[in-house]
Amino acid sequence: MNANDRPLDRPADRSPDRLSDRLSDRRPERRQALTPDALAMMDAIARTGSFAAAARELGKVPSALTYSVRQLEEALDALLFDRSSRQAQLTAAGTELLNEGRRLLQEMDAVANRVRRVASGWETQLSISVEDILSVPTVFELVEAFCQVRDGADDTPATRLRLRTDVLAGTWESLVTGQVDLAIGVSGEHANSGGIELRPLGEVAFVYCVAPHHPLAAVATALEDAQLVHHRAVAVGDTAQRLTPVTVNLLPGQDVLTVPSMRAKMEALLRGLGCGYLPEPLARAQIAAGRLVRKDTARATPTARLQYAWRAERSALGLGRALSWWLAQLESKTTRLALMERHTGLLP
């Protein structure tokens, strides 16, 4: 065979498809290597600062720990510890594995705790709709108390909470469409097809307000509809998507600025962008400080009669323990009053 007949040396196939196939082939091996024990081993080595100390903590001999680390490095195809250092010095790859490993171990513990608590009657998640006019500080005080509920020695919150804010018919709609498990602040009369329990929450009085520099502030008599129609009203938009949205206290032909929340409405009124009704407890401090002017109107002052509602039969076992806890809090007259009255807290 002459030189021209010799087979050419062929470089390894490095095409993207072949490389992807090789990496894909190693995925099961890597997943098998990333066990809770391997992650705990990395954590122990990093905390104690040496293989020997970590081996004592884990009840192993140093050689076994060294072997386990080498196996992990081979499976991941990455150097996790700097062998030139006398101490257990993590490489950048090792640091990343340690950080992510600690997070994964925490999540594993959290999942195990949630599974156990669900088996004991705690819901995985509880969704709550809160009507926009209610007290935000009080809602979060309830959330804080709920997150401190403990079941034995477990320090994990019982259930994941999901809060949302709704307005007018949107609060009822969120419950009847299954978006939430509990609706706090349902207003008005709604068709109940059955399976939903309602309890009275209380009443909230409204007051008509304008900024001191608004033209209506100087009017000495009670405001008539014929006067109001010439001034922009500020209204909070109903969040209902399927039910018919509710419109209250707006006059035909009146200019309207629609905002997403009652607190946004108050901000608009403070700036003189319009006029309108606010919950008296929410407006109280602004009126006392002279930043808003309370005005009498010829029409009757509106009052919102609120309820809280929930599905009576959420499962064959009845109410979950998280929903039962919230319902127990709402049975308290003090809690119900705070939800309607107290709008001051940690935040202005």
Q: What is the pLDDT of residue 181?
A: 92
**pLDDT (tens digit, 9 = 90+) per residue, 4-58?**
444 444 444 445 455 445 445 556 677 788 888 988 898 899 888 888 899 999 9
**pLDDT (tens digit, 9 = 90+) per residue, 250-281?**
999 999 999 999 999 999 999 999 999 999 99
Per-residue confidence band for 283, with pLDDT thresholds at 50, 70 and 90: very high
Structure tokens at 261: 């929340």
- In angstroms, the Cα distances linking 24 to 17, 29, 169 are 10, 10, 52
Q: Which CATH class is domain 18-119?
A: mainly alpha
Q: What is the pLDDT of residue 345?
A: 59
pLDDT averaged over the chain?
85
Q: What is the C-alpha separation between 335 and 194, in angstroms, rounded?
A: 27
Q: Where are the domains of the chain?
A: 18-119, 130-348
Residue 155 has pLDDT above 60, yes or no: no
Domain boundaries 130-348, corresponding CATH code: 3.40.190.290
Helices (H) and strands (E) in the chain, counts: 12, 11
Asked whether 282 and 181 are in contact (CB, 8 A), the reply is no
Instruction: Output the CA torsion sign for 209, 212, 215, 221.
Output: positive
Residue 165 has pLDDT above 80, yes or no: yes
**pLDDT (tens digit, 9 = 90+) per residue, 222-246?**
999 999 999 999 999 999 888 888 8
User: For the residues 88-113, what does the mean pLDDT come to?
Assistant: 83
Asked whether 170 and 240 are in contact (CB, 8 A), the reply is yes
Poorest-confidence range of 62-76, 86-100, 221-235, 310-324?
A: 310-324
